[in-house]
Amino acid sequence: MPIDRVLSQEEIDNVFRNLEHTSRNTAGAQHVLAYDFRRPDRIAKDQLRAIQLLHDNFARSLASSLSAYLRAYVTVNLVSVEQLSFVEFVQCLPSPSVITSLGMKPFEGNAVLELDPSLVFPIIEILLGGTGKGSSHHIEREITEIENSILESVYRLILHDMQVAWEGVARFEFTIEGRETEPQMLQLLAPNEAVVAVSLEVRIADSVGMINIGIPSIVVKMLRQKFDSQWLMRKTESSEQEQQRVLRLLQPSIVRLEAKLSGPTIRTEDLLRLECGDILKLDYDVNRQLSLTVNNVLKWQGQAVDNGRKRCFVLESRPEGED
């Protein structure tokens, strides 16, 4: 039979106190995160952002180097930087492919450099005198020893630009220690060991391919102190080599030079009233220097002369305030 009983105020308070205690414990349990013991070498997100910035610079440098070497327009774009287990990284690689094991002196361990076949064969065709467009269709076969030898110069370019890109963090000496065509045959790291996977998209002529780089996370963790906030925020000074590279890119540029005779001004209404026989007083000394502008920016002062049938300008001085 039902019990007809009225709770006291103290009993009511105890009920609400127990409910509050239970909800607090439940809320705390919701913030518990699972830890994956199979990936002990996880690195911080700020280090991944630093590596992304580093390889973004590497992509621009590699595009310039390949364009100059192949004498073709090459673009390189950074697609992604993420941390994967080694087995996941290997499963992402095409088969067959062009895979190179890289030494990372003075650090122990090996990095992985993979070139997509859809990128390799157009490069080989260009190096042999072709346009690179004949290999636009996908070729599914392993690369030969002769073709591998032809690619040696391309490997040197890639490894050199990688070393330069990493100089701000550590002085790596990347060396080729082995080659493979089947990703499943790679036995460089344990399957669950973490790697930093860098993917770059390369466009040459009508061909598009990927360059994939795998760096052991344990090596990146050893450089943890190098990836501090000061390294990310400070403005790095460009090296002499970088300045020369930018200068080579700017040298073919076309600029507009103009020698101007800067004289007095006149109102439009006075200009419209001019008639034959009127005299304009310019007040301009015949020995006064002319202004030479580069893209409408005053750079030099001098005199206009002629040399046979050619018009020339003699540079005499720099305007005040110009270095």
Cα–Cα nearest to 212, from 97, 301, 105: 97
CATH number for 109: 3.40.1550.10
Domain count, the chain: 2
Dump pLDDT digits (tens) for 71-100: 888 999 999 999 888 888 888 888 888 889
* Beta bridge partners of residue 80, listed in sequence order: 199
d(CA 216, CA 84): 10
Q: What's the Rg (C-alpha) of the chain?
A: 34
Same domain, 96 and 231: yes
| In-domain check, residue 300 | yes
| In-domain check, residue 136 | yes
Same domain, 139 and 70: yes
Helix (H, G, I), strand (E, B) or coil at 121: helix
Q: Are 179 and 99 in contact (CB under 8 A)?
A: yes
Same domain, 74 and 213: yes
Dump pLDDT digits (tens) for 148-177: 888 899 999 999 999 998 887 888 889 988
Dump pLDDT digits (tens) for 266-299: 888 888 888 898 887 777 777 778 888 888 888 8
| In-domain check, residue 281 | yes
| In-domain check, residue 202 | yes
0.75 exceeded by the pTM?
A: no
Task: Please tell me the least confidently modeled range out of 15-19, 139-143, 183-187.
Answer: 15-19
| In-domain check, residue 14 | no
d(CA 89, CA 156): 24
Contacts of 160 (CB under 8 A, 6+ apart): 65
Q: What residues make up the domain containing 232?
A: 45-250
Q: Are 98 and 211 in contact (CB under 8 A)?
A: no
